Each structure stands twice: as C-alpha cells, then as structure tokens.
Amino acid sequence: MSDKQFRFQDFEIWTRGADVGSKLFRFAEQLRGAALSITNNIAEGSGSVSDADFANFLNTSRRSVFEMANILMLLSKDGYLEKEEVQPLLLELEEESRMILAFRRTLKS
C-alpha cells in the first residue's frame, strides 16, 4: 500500500507544481519577514535610550531593505516575477534606503 493518500500525488505535474509553489511560498515568507524587519527595527530603535543605539537599529532596518531587493531581483531573474512588476518596487526600496540613511545622519553619534 502506498503512503500517498491521493492519486494526484503520483503525478509528476503535481509534484513539480508543488515544488514551485513551495519555493514561492518560502520567498513570500522571506519577503514578509524582511518587510516587517524594516518597520520593526525602526520602531524598536525609536525606543532606544541613545542615538547610537537607535542608529544600530536603523542599520539593521536598511539591511532588510537590501534583503528585500535581493529577493525581488532573484524572483525576477528566475522568471517568477516580471521585471515590470519588480522595477517600481526596487525604486521604492532604493528611496526607503536613502531615507533611512538620511534620518540616521540626523542622529547624534
């Protein structure tokens, strides 16, 4: 007796679809995590008792912007997203990075 409960589990077309779907799900989860990291680190850092500590949180936030950009570029490169979909997001991320850096510069060292 097979340990597969459903007939479709034997079909290569289902297996391949599941592989792609799970890859995309992992990317989606990674993107969500990076997006949350951007705002979470800004929020958490704003509660710091020193500007130097806040600056460290802003650095982490900015690194999450780069992480998101990397994931989007890979999804586009691998054909999961169209370049036309990704480019506006990359522009937004680039602006977010600049804004975080500019804000960080206003903090006392």
CATH of the domain at 89: 1.20.1440.60
- pLDDT of residue 1 exceeding 50, the answer is no
Confidence of residue 25 (pLDDT cuts 50, 70, 90): confident
Is 24 in contact with 80 (CB distance < 8 Å)? Answer: yes
Asked if residue 32 is part of any domain, the answer here is yes
Q: Is residue 52 scored above 60 in pLDDT? A: yes
Classify residue 101: in a domain, yes or no. Answer: yes
Give percent of the chain with pLDDT exceeding 90. Answer: 67
Distances (CA, A) of 57 to 23, 73, 103: 30, 25, 12
Q: What is the model's pTM? A: 0.81
Residue span of the structural domain in which 85 resides: 11-105
* Alpha carbons 8 and 82: distance in angstroms, whole number: 30
Is pLDDT above 80 for 4? no
44 — pLDDT class (breaks 50, 70, 90): very high
Q: pLDDT band for position 2 (50/70/90)? A: low
pLDDT of residue 3: 72
Mean pLDDT value across the chain: 88
Flag whether 22 is in a domain: yes
Structural domain total, the chain: 1
